[in-house]
Structure 1
Amino acid sequence: MINKDYILRLAEQFGRTLAILLRLRERNQHEEALIYIDDLFLKYLGLTSRLINSLSEEKLLQTLSPMGVVNIHACLWAAVLLKGEGDIYEAQENSTESYYRYRKALSLLLAALLHDPTIAETDLYINVDELLSKLEEYELPLLLKQQLFAYYEQLGNYAKAEDTLFDALEDDERNLTLIQLGEAFYQRLLLKSNADLAAGNLSREEVHEGIAQLKKRQ
């Protein structure tokens, strides 16, 4: 678990960075803002914006976490800066460029949160709901849906996790990995009390219905 004081200091750095970006955007200094972000990518990650944006979400996470353990610092910096770029392109009405940056930012943020849930207790000036609202008109890739499924379960929002699971299965209804993840999810839910399930907006009957639906897909 990452040190909370460290996360607080990191959040302060994010806040100062985003304040500078906001001032540049308000002055329509979009190119200057993109150059500033590229400098920060090099400073904190040793990578250029061009390289980061050329990688898939999965490859980017591997690049930022070469030891196989999620690098919280790198993931959060990359997520914040990618969102910053996305906001700039959105202001320029370049939805294609903003979309890919918001998507990568969400994937990296979820990777960090799934690795250490305590991060959510700090105001990082970036959150899952805001990024999802930026992406609401787009169909998310399967890997990102899997991350969201795990994230919602972690939050205790079991109904949302279930919805995300079956949404992912609509993309690939015979996906054995997804079916196995779903089965394990429902087995964990069966161990919950009725009160815990209700708090997650799911009933025990709905859990059994979900299990039955998964069996039909096998």
Structure 2
Amino acid sequence: MINKDYILRLAEQIGYELSILVGLRKRNRYQDELLTIDNLLLKYTGMTSRFINSLSDELLLQSLSPLGKMNVDAGLWIASLLKEEGEAYEGLDNSNESYYRYTKSLYLFLELLYQEHVASDSGLYEEANQLIEKLSGYELPAHITQKLFRYYEQRGMYAQAENTLFDALEKQSSPALLEAGREFYQRLLKKSSTDLQLGNFSREEAQEGIEQIQQFES
């Protein structure tokens, strides 16, 4: 788990830079904002926006994980600044570019929250939830849908996890995802009725889910 004080210090530093970007955006200085974002990315990560956005999500994650685990500093800077870049493009009425930045940012936030088991009161969850809301009207790529499934279970939102699981299966059914679904329901069956109820779920629904998973295997 990331040290809470460390995250607070890093978030405070990022927040200071973001406040400057927000000021530019409020004055409709979107091009200046994009230039500033590029400079910040180069300063704090050694990578430009063009390079970052030229990589697939998977390749970007690999580049941030030289030892098999994401570099927290670089990952958080990139996730935060991509989100702001999406805001700038949204201000420019360029929905294609904003969507691309939002999905890449969400991908990194979800991976960071999963790998580091961030404290439940961290503001990083709010960042992720804002992105999920922004993208709620769009079709998400299969690899991000799969990470959302994992995220919802991690947060104890079991009904939403199930919905996202079947959304992912409809997009791209695979042996690995089917196995992840079976393991998900097995974990739920071991939980108390109270825990399941808090996640808007029940033991009966878990049993039904296992049967539905089997239908995808046939």
Q: TM-score range by the shorter chain?
A: over 0.9
Structure 2 stretches lacking a partner, 5+ long: none
Do the aligned partners of 2:109 and 2:124 also contact (CA within 8 Å) in 1? Answer: no
Q: Please show how residues 11-160 of structure 1 align to structure 2 within 5 Å.
A: 11-124=11-124, 127-160=127-160
Match of 2:199 in 1: 200
Structure 1 residues 192 and 165, CA gap change in structure 2 (3 angstroms)? same
Structure 1 runs, 4 residues or longer, greater than 4 Å off = none
Partners of 1:44 and 1:77 within 8 A in 2 = yes
Aligned equivalents of 1:102, 1:34: Cα separation in 2: 15
Tell me, in whole angstroms, the C-alpha distance in 2 between the residues paired with 1:29 and 1:119: 35
Instruction: Note the alpha carbon deviations across 1:178-207, whole angstroms, 9 max, x for none.
Output: 110000111111111111111111111000
| 83-92 or 116-125, which deviates more | 116-125
CA distance in 2, matches of 1:160, 1:204: 15
Distance 1:24 1:86 in 2: 14
1:167 match: 167
Bigger shift: residues 58-67 or 88-97 = 58-67
Q: Distance in 2 between matches of 1:118 and 1:66?
A: 21
Using the alignment, how far apart are the partners of 1:45 and 1:125 within structure 2? 22
Instruction: Check 1:206–1:126 CA distance in 2 against 1; reply closer, same or farther (3 A cut).
Output: closer
- Structure 2 length as normaliser, TM-score? 0.95
Residues 77-103 of structure 1: CA distance to partner in whole angstroms, max 9, x if unpaired?
Answer: 101000111000000100011000000
Residues in 2 aligned to 1:65 and 1:30: alpha-carbon distance in whole angstroms: 31
C-alpha distance in 1 between matches for 2:115 and 2:137: 28
Which residue type is aligned with residue 104 of structure 1?
K
Is structure 2 residue 179 aligned with structure 1 residue 180?
A: yes
Match of 1:214 in 2: 213
Mind listing any 5+ residue stretches in structure 1 that lack a counterpart? Answer: none
Aligned length: 217
Task: Give the C-alpha shift of residue 172 in structure 1.
Answer: 2.4
| CA gap 1:107/1:187 in 2 versus in 1, 3 angstroms | same
- Offset at residue 75 of structure 1 (A): 1.3
Taking structure 1 as the reference length, what is the TM-score of the superposition? Answer: 0.95
Distance 1:81 1:2, change over 3 A: same
Cα RMSD for the two superposed structures: 1.4
- Give 3-state SS (helix, strand or coil) of 2:118's partner: helix
Deviations 1:99-158 (A, max 9, x none): 000000000000100012325523359612210121122111111011111111110111
Please tell me whether the aligned partners of residues 186 and 211 of structure 1 are also in contact (alpha carbons under 8 angstroms): yes
Q: Quick check: 2:2–2:117 contact (8 Å CA) kept in 1?
A: no
1:14/1:125 contact within 8 Å kept: no
Q: Distance in 1 between the 2:30 and 2:130 partners?
A: 21
Q: Percent identity?
A: 55
DSSP-derived class of the 2:209 partner: helix
Structure 1 stretch 111-120 or stretch 154-163: which is displaced more? 111-120
